[in-house]
Every structure is written in structure tokens, then in C-alpha cells.
């Protein structure tokens, strides 16, 4: 078996809820054809950037070289989100791995610069370096593949692999759905950050309360804008919040099994694990058509794609009134994940890429 170094933030669910950590955890658990050695790149969700963090980052390139020698690494699966801090943090370790002559599988998990060119010449140069020096490039959707091919002509002739994320799918008897219940259970799952469309969510929750809609809002996650978000809610909406904090393991399964609607009106995304996990648990998504989310969510079929701030309220009011429609869309949502985003299919695709080199 090959010894493959794989990078991601911490795999401990108490430290990180990132999609990169989640998919890395699954891949290491299910892919028995290679020996994975995990190397931590990225900070814990609750840690702050300061002097200690900076010193730690400066040591990373040297640690990764020691790691490669110790474990006799033969290839590197390098996970990254095309965000400014990730690009700046990871470029030097990546450069050293390139100098070692190891095959580099560059796995891009979305980010703002997978669908736009940065203004900064430094960031543009770093992105070109990552792409040029990669042995293989993996992206989450054909949309991202087309974008890279169009805007980075030097990639002509290099294969870009499209490999959507995957999730574990709960059994039918593990779900606790009641589509005729008095309360609609609405879910937000992920990093609590304004860029995720929190202002839109707060406005919609306030409007639902004003209209007398009975709902529970499960707020699941941690992040810098949690206090700000809660302050945006009026009294009735605030009373409807169930603040679960960071959820993982059985608690996460429980919340997903109870939820009816998933909200993510984000400004930019890759292919969020939270979206796939919720749909796999028969939760109807209401999301913006950014990143690769529109590849998974078919508008008015297995969920809703929205382009304006008022749409969420109107959709939830309708689903509250038409519970049979809610149940039917939840069924189609789950069916999409079972057919297209299973972990078994994902592992087979990853191993095909490894074997191509």
C-alpha cells in the first residue's frame, strides 16, 4: 500500500466542523486501499490568531518535511479552500513538498477564488503556483472545472477531476420526521459567519414570527458573528431559537433527523458538507445558487434556489401550508444524496485518481 500524506484541519469534531475535516475523516475511515497519514493544516474553530499562532505557522513547513521522512510518504493529498488566509498559509509547505518531488493531488474545496480572480497580484501568483505545480487537480463540480479551464489557460491539456463531496447516509428508521407536526424545525448548521447570509436568515425568522408561523430554529455551530446574529432577532424569533452550539456525533444525527428545512443563503461556497448531510437526512434545502450548491439542488424539485432576501419567508410559509409538498421534496432531497453522493462512490473515484499517476 502507498503511504499518502493528507492535509486538513483537526479531525477532532470538538475542534473543527469544517467540511474539509469531515470529508477527510470519512476518506480515512472508508478507503482501505492506502495508508493515510494525517497532517494538520489549519486552526481550530475556537482558536484565535495571535503571536503564538504565528510562531506555530512558521514551524509548519519544517514539521511537514520531518513528517514525510518519518512515514516514508509516497504522495500528498493536499486539501485547500481558495481563501486568502489558506493560500498564504499553505503555499510554503506546498512548495517544499513540490521540491521533494512527491506527486501532489491538489484538492480544492471551493472558496471565493475558485469562481473569481483575486485583485491582489500576490494571491494571483500563489494560485497559479498551486495549479501549475500540482500533479492532479480535484474540484467539487463541473462548474469549477470549467472556470479553471477558462481563466487559467496554462491548464490546457491537464486533466481536472470533478469529484463531489460525499456523506454517510442514515438509515430510514433513524429519521424522526413528522411532516404534520405543529412546529416546523428549521436548521442552520455550520460556521456562524455573516458571509453565510445570517442577516437574510435573521430577517426571515423575524418575518415568520410576525406572520404567526410556529417554528423552532436549530442554531448549530460556532463562529465570530453568533452574538451579532442573535441580536438581530426580535423577541418572538429569539424565543424560537434552540442554540445547540457545536454539534457532532449522535447530537448532530439527532438534530438532522428532526429538521424539516435547511437554510444557507451564503455569499459563496464550495460544496458544503452540511448541505449534503441535511439532504441525506431528508431535510429540504433553501440555498443560494453559489459555488456547487446549484449542482445538487434542483430548484422546486429537491429544494429551493433563492436570489433575493424575501424568498426564504415566502417558501417557508408555503411549505408550512402544504405539508405534503414538504414531505415529497424531502424524499427527493434524500434520494439525490443516496444516488449521487455516497461515500462508497467517492472512495472509488479517489482511488482511480491515485492510480492515474
Average of per-residue pLDDT across 57-63: 82
Q: Are residues 51 and 151 in the same domain?
A: yes
pLDDT of residue 156: 87
pLDDT above 70 for 126: yes
Q: Are residues 204 and 306 in the same domain?
A: yes
End-to-end CA distance of the chain: 15
Average of per-residue pLDDT across 161-188: 91
Q: Are residues 122 and 263 in the same domain?
A: no
pLDDT of residue 110: 85
Those residues whose C-beta lies under 8 Å from the C-beta of residue 291, and which sit 6 or more positions away, are: 110, 114, 115, 140, 141, 143, 144, 266, 268, 269, 270, 271, 272
pLDDT of residue 92: 94
pLDDT of residue 47: 60
Of residues 286, 283, 229, 228, the one with CA closest to residue 260: 283
pTM (predicted TM-score):
0.80
Q: Are residues 34 and 123 in the same domain?
A: yes
Is residue 13 a contact partner of residue 248, using CB atoms and an 8 Å limit? yes
Q: Are residues 318 and 191 in the same domain?
A: yes
Task: Round to whole Å and give the CA distance between 263 and 272.
Answer: 12
pLDDT of residue 17: 65
How many domains does the chain divide into? 2
Q: Are residues 260 and 285 in the same domain?
A: yes
Q: Are residues 320 and 222 in the same domain?
A: yes
Q: Are residues 119 and 244 in the same domain?
A: no
Residue span of the structural domain in which 309 resides:
172-340
Q: Are residues 76 and 183 in the same domain?
A: no
Q: Are residues 151 and 268 in the same domain?
A: no
Those residues whose C-beta lies under 8 Å from the C-beta of residue 58, and which sit 6 or more positions away, are: none
Task: Round to whole Å and give the CA distance between 271 and 115.
Answer: 13
Task: Read off the CATH number of the domain in which 92 is found.
Answer: 3.40.50.2000
With 0-12 CB in 10 A as exposed, 13-18 as middle and 19+ as buried, what is 96? middle
Q: Are residues 335 and 349 in the same domain?
A: no
pLDDT above 80 for 43: no
CA atoms within 13 A on the CB side of 340: 18
- Output the average pLDDT for the chain: 91
Average of per-residue pLDDT across 203-231: 95
Per-residue pLDDT tens digits for 128-160: 999 999 999 999 988 899 999 999 999 988 889
Q: Are residues 29 and 41 in the same domain?
A: yes
pLDDT above 60 for 108: yes
In this predicted structure, which of 83-92, 110-119, 143-152, 196-205 has the lowest mean pLDDT?
110-119
Amino acid at each position: 500500500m502507498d503511504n499518502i500524506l493528507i492535509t486538513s484541519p483537526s479531525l477532532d469534531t470538538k475542534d473543527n466542523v469544517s467540511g474539509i475535516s469531515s470529508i477527510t475523516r470519512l476518506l480515512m475511515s472508508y478507503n482501505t486501499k492506502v495508508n493515510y497519514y494525517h497532517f494538520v493544516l489549519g486552526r481550530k474553530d475556537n482558536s484565535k490568531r495571535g503571536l503564538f499562532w504565528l510562531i506555530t505557522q512558521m514551524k509548519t513547513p519544517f514539521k511537514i518535511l520531518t513528517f514525510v521522512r518519518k512515514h516514508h510518504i509516497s504522495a500528498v493529498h493536499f486539501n485547500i479552500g481558495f481563501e486568502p488566509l489558506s493560500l498564504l498559509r499553505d503555499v510554503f509547505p506546498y512548495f517544499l513538498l513540490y521540491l521533494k518531488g512527491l506527486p501532489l493531488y491538489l484538492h480544492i474545496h471551493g472558496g471565493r477564488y475558485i469562481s473569481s480572480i483575486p485583485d491582489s497580484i500576490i494571491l494571483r501568483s500563489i494560485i497559479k503556483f498551486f495549479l501549475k505545480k500540482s500533479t492532479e487537480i480535484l474540484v467539487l463540480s463541473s462548474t469549477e472545472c470549467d472556470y479553471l479551464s477558462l481563466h487559467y489557460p496554462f491548464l490546457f491539456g491537464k486533466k481536472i477531476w470533478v469529484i463531489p463531496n460525499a456523506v454517510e447516509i442514515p438509515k430510514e428508521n433513524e429519521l424522526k420526521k413528522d411532516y404534520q407536526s405543529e412546529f416546523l424545525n428549521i436548521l442552520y448548521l455550520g460556521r456562524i459567519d455573516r458571509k453565510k447570509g445570517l442577516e437574510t436568515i435573521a430577517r426571515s425568522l423575524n418575518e415568520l414570527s410576525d406572520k404567526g408561523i410556529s417554528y423552532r430554529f436549530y442554531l448549530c455551530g460556532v463562529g465570530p458573528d453568533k452574538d451579532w446574529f442573535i441580536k438581530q432577532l426580535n423577541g418572538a424569533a429569539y424565543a424560537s431559537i434552540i442554540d445547540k452550539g457545536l454539534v457532532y456525533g449522535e447530537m448532530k444525527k439527532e438534530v438532522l433527523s428532526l429538521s424539516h428545512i435547511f437554510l444557507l443563503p451564503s455569499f459563496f461556497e464550495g460544496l458544503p458538507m452540511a448541505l449534503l448531510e441535511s439532504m441525506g437526512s431528508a431535510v429540504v434545502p433553501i440555498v443560494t445558487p453559489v459555488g456547487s450548491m446549484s449542482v445538487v439542488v434542483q430548484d422546486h424539485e429537491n429544494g429551493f434556489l433563492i436570489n433575493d432576501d424575501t424568498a426564504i419567508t415566502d417558501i417557508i410559509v408555503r411549505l408550512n401550508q402544504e405539508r405534503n409538498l414538504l414531505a415529497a421534496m424531502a424524499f427527493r432531497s434524500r434520494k439525490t444524496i443516496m444516488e449521487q453522493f455516497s461515500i462508497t462512490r467517492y472512495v472509488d473515484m479517489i482511488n482511480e485518481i491515485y492510480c492515474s499517476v
